[in-house]
Amino acid sequence: MSTAREYLRAIRGPVLLISLGILVIADHVGQLPFWRSWPVLLVVLGVMILLERSAIRPEGGPLS
């Protein structure tokens, strides 16, 4: 596994937690209700997975 893929996999959880925290704060201050903003977490997760899969693979390595 390449270093870039390992790095992206390692930061996936913290990025999701930060996103969740921002959404909860936005709900708390009344800017955006959480029940309308939770799909943002799915988008962030999808972007993280796409970045991880598009990271440079080692030469001759498997595509999975």
- Annotate 42-63 with DSSP letters as a single string: HHHHHHHHHHHHHSPPPTT---
- Asked if the structure places residue 61 within a domain, the reply is no
Average per-residue pLDDT for the chain: 85
Count of the separate structural domains present in the chain: 1
Q: Is residue 59 part of a domain?
A: no
What's the average model confidence in pLDDT over 42-61? Answer: 81
Containing structural domain, residue 39: 3-54
Is residue 45 in a domain? yes
Sequence-distant (≥ 6) Cβ neighbours of residue 57 within 8 angstroms: 2, 5, 63
Domain membership of residue 49 (yes or no) is yes
- Lowest average pLDDT, out of 5-9, 36-40, 47-51, 60-64, goes to 60-64
What is the model's pTM?
0.75
**Cα–Cα distance measured from residue 60 to residue 33, given in angstroms and rounded to the nearest whole number:** 48
Q: Which of 3-7, 28-32, 45-49 has the lowest mean pLDDT?
A: 3-7
Q: How far apart are the first and last CA of the chain?
A: 10
